[in-house]
Chain A
Amino acid sequence: MSRSGWRKRLARAAVILPPYAWLAAFFLLPFVIVLRISLSDPASAQPPYRPLFDWTGGWDALMAFLGALDLENFETLASDSLYWEAAISSVTIALVSTVLLLLIGYPVAYGMARAAPRLRPLLVALVILPFWTSFLIRVYAWIAILKPEGLLNQFLLALGLISDPLTILNTPTAVYIGVVYAYLPFMILPLYAALERLDWTLVEAAQDLGSPPWKAFWTVTLPLSLPGVVAGSLLCFIPIVGEFVVPDLLGGSDTLMIGRTLWSEFFSNRDWPLASAVAVVLLLIVVIPIVFYREIEARRWEAR
């Protein structure tokens, strides 16, 4: 091969390699480690799992190591209803939250996209503004708002709408409020990106052909903003399934979420293998919608 041919190959590799190297180093490698721990047994030692792999032992040591790995932790997960409930509850909370986020985020994004062009950058900045403050602080602020003697109750009492403070903190309602609040920008921004690109003469054309505004929305605007809906939903659903901070701070003890289960297995019980198994299951739950999405995308491209 000629010199320039090699150069070209090298250049191409230099472009393609970094993302793969990144994924291998920061996703694949940690995942292999977690998977390996999830197949081990807990031990009161340092590190708190067995078997350990003896690098000096050669072939026999490797075989012994692999022989000691088993699916015991996954069996535990499957047989104990606590984990099932945590998983189902997480997915339910994530689904309901995603729907709520869509219902709130879509009108907001729509309004932003129809605002005067010179106003739009300001509106986008306002949506991103909360990120200037730490996530943790913002969730703590919600405690101050939602607690029995908090701002919300004071306000409602002052208006005379209620006579006794509402119990919101440490209920699933508080979790929904916190999650929807925290993830709203992630829903609004992709929706806004899709709607802002939309050619509004298409909506006019629909109305010209006899569609009232709601029908023009349903048959033209919504289908054309679907990529934004899917992107925003994935961007919210996936992290919400594994969300730990919000249910921990706002949800109280009776809100089951898989992220909290993982945390307590890891830190309270020091059962690293079981915690790792929960992490693997969580990953699988999250991968399903992504695979589903890719399938839809692939079919859409084929249809073209």
Chain B
Amino acid sequence: MNDTTRALRPAIGAVRRSFSPWTDPQARPLIRFESVTKRFGEAVAVEDLSLDIFEREFFCLLGPSGCGKTTLMRMLAGFEEPTAGRVLLAGQDLTGVPPYRRPVNMMFQSYALFPHMSVADNIAYGLKQDRLPRGEIEARVEEMLRLVQLEKLATRRPDQLSGGQRQRVALARALAKRPKVLLLDEPLGALDKKLREETQFELMDLQVRLGMTFLVVTHDQEEAMTMSDRIAVMDHGRIVQVATPGELYEQPRTRFVAEFVGDINILEGKVAGMEEGGWRVETPHASQALTVFDPDEVLGHGQPVAVAVRPEKMTIHRQRPQGPNVLEGEVWDIGYLGDWTVYRVHLGSGAVVRVSCANASRFVADPITWDERVFVAFAPDAAILLSR
């Protein structure tokens, strides 16, 4: 990270903390998908999808391969027309507007750099289409090259660049026109982990600095959590949940979201009633009914339900702890990750739960080891009830 980004960090923090137009009923969205459906012959790529994205938002589309992320983006860029529904930009219906008239630029999943042009010509391409004066084009190209730190490679051709450099050229080319909305389709797919993390912060910084709206596709949930204001989780052409990273992690609405975002233990059971504000759930995995505080769910007696608990919200003990939710099992596996240790505990019911513990001290006198009998516990408000 360079000095400018470091200097800007507190400012970004302030912007981020106070930014939540989606909670404001008065706010008008910049981008609106209105019950959009896209079919390719028989196959449905996007199904009856509605979504609002606000100005200056850093919005991520997250989902497994083939769930329709690229298709959604291509409909906004103008390469696909929706089979049904419409796409609006700043209140204007985009139906029938060709891609070259949309104030939206896209960074392609494959980068799509022009192989017969130099890096500088690639970046200048969009500016030339706008018929800007030559001096201005040159100045803007220079600025973009500086931004992505490729000044020295301006005359190279794309096939003489590394994957990461190509990705930066593609980004610079899409940014050069200063579009209202920048679409990025897996922008960091080709980068190694370290460069990826650096670039994530650079992208966030750029987005705040240029005041642009970013719509980013990724199937890396960590990347989505790091960068976005909000995330839409997609599955089979539909949006399952739209939420901030925190909400998505702590209050997933469905099992699919819970399992897709982060690690989670799922314990199947049946609702046995309500006691003191907490749901009682009977499950074969524990000798006593579990207690869960989850005010969001309205459930019926006997209804099948899943108790979902993140590994870091469980604790592991040698002696049976006091408290409502205790599972009993045997340590099958221990994964030491440096910052965390992950235990795989095999319960009497046959299920395996993962428990992760922060390694707060460097040495532990008598650590839990393989094949030991242990107790796993979690607080009633650490778990989520999932009925879908």
Contacts and interface: CB of A to CB of B under 8 A. Distances in A.
Interface of A: 199, 201-202, 204-212, 215, 219-220, 223-224, 304
B2 interface: no
Interface string B303-343: 00000000000000000000000000000000000000000
B98 interface: yes
Contact of B125 (A204, A206, A212): A206
A304 B77 contact: no
B125 A223 contact: no
Nearest to A210: B129
Contacts, number: 56
Contact of A202 (B78, B106, B112, B157): B112
Interface string B149-179: 0000000010010000000000001000100
A204 B74 CA distance: 10
Contact of A204 (B79, B160, B177): B79
Given A204-B79, A223-B116, A224-B115, A212 B110 contact: no
**Chain B interface main SS type:** loop
B112 A204 contact: yes
Nearest to A211: B129
Given A205-B114, A215-B129, 12 more contacts: A202-B115, A204-B108, A206-B125, A208-B105, A208-B106, A209-B100, A209-B126, A209-B129, A211-B100, A211-B129, A212-B98, A224-B115
B108 A205 contact: yes
**Chain A interface main SS type:** helix
Contacts of A206: 114, 125
A199 B157 CA distance: 17
A281 B138 CA distance: 51
Interface of B: 77-79, 98-100, 104-106, 108, 110, 112-116, 125-126, 129-130, 157, 160, 173, 177
A194 to B, nearest CB: 13
Q: Tell me which of A209, A220, A223 has the highest count of chain B C-beta atoms within 10 A of its own C-beta.
A: A209
Q: Tell me which of B77, B99, B115, B157 has the highest count of chain A C-beta atoms within 10 A of its own C-beta.
A: B99
A208 B99 contact: yes
A223 B157 CA distance: 15
A302 to B, nearest CB: 13
A138 B43 CA distance: 47
A212 B110 CA distance: 22
22 contacts: A201-B110, A201-B112, A202-B114, A202-B115, A205-B113, A205-B114, A206-B114, A207-B98, A207-B99, A208-B99, A208-B106, A209-B105, A209-B173, A209-B177, A210-B126, A210-B129, A210-B177, A211-B125, A211-B129, A219-B125, A223-B116, A304-B160
A240 B115 CA distance: 33
A199 B112 contact: yes
A209 B125 CA distance: 7
A220 B100 CA distance: 15
A52 B167 CA distance: 71
A204 B157 contact: no
A215 B108 CA distance: 20
A142 to B, nearest CB: 40
B108 A210 contact: no
Q: Tell me which of B98, B100, B125, B160 has the highest count of chain A C-beta atoms within 10 A of its own C-beta.
A: B100
A206 B116 CA distance: 13
Nearest to A220: B114
Nearest to B106: A208
B100 A208 contact: yes
